[in-house]
Structure 1
């Protein structure tokens, strides 16, 4: 049980595996008014940056679950580096279906709603771990601009236009699911650059060091096309946000 090797190679230098910068992640922590002792469950936690930095900056405690052995190890190293190992725990496991044994103040999944087969299923899953009046955090893409053709849809890693909502549609979905949207922090073009463009230098360094690896041809082809696809399609058309919700 692990992520594909190609995904891990592409993002192994990332501490945040979504289009939030460190500054925006810090803004999100302040925006939801974290307090010392706040309990958090982070599903598909990646390399644990959210839990680790919020433990350092706000005194939260919590658990992160991720399917990647590499990312879980990185999260544990990050906790040690920030001296918060007594506040956070990282577990290798499948986040899909994971429910906290004790209800938490904040239940989060930032950018991996496939664990619930979409936004609605992920909201339902997170809600099973949430205490009354707790905060649910969901990270999800949305259309910033209407895709003009199918090439744009595919360039934004979607199969159909309906794979993503526009921002009003996404907010409307949260309402339909029975939640108030109480805060949000949105990615901008620069933070998208820091997430996506940073992968290209990682891939190039990996290619230079691994010319005979079985994945070399695939990564060479990716680096040949990914920057043009990103600037043509994804950067102008796709948004991303972290949304804080509370049950009505």
Structure 2
């Protein structure tokens, strides 16, 4: 699906192809962080330091969203994230990214939480602190099958028709505006635990393998290299 995510992913590829250096891990980290909103003085002012930022979402202890979610989910905090799970925890078949722009979080998150609860999503996580809320993949929900993922995405699209989006590069778009996208994590035992970590390592390797080519020649060579490894460089999924 053309749209914001395709544009973000293409822009990241073009910039990465021009960056100096030959270290794959460093380039992969840069690609993984691409699309993160800047940590400006205004963001520091509006969200606050540390976990104070979670008050914007109502997720601090005693906050309205936290109270509602803890009635249905078990909450767990860990570095960088607060997770909500019910039943057997995190299914691993596929994942939905919900990516409101940071300025839209205060208004959008109560609706997102309501939909995820109503759709009986088994598990999701939210980025912690200001850094977590500025990253593009700030809300990730997990599903046992693509049917429930698609139904939940459709419900979110109906509930948030005008929500400003940030968009998650290198994921498969479900909406043209970039608010909703999805992915499938690599199998256990892979060198990276998440889809985006896995795919950005392969992008970095493909770009560096194209050297000394730069610019569009490097981007074209990198896309061919990705396709050769089984990744669709347009849909950002493993090619079937």
Q: Give the shorter-chain TM-score range.
A: under 0.3
Q: Identify the structure with the greater strand proportion.
A: 1
TM-score (norm 2): 0.26
TM-score (norm 1): 0.26
Name which structure has the greater RCO, CA cutoff 8 Å, separation 6+: 2
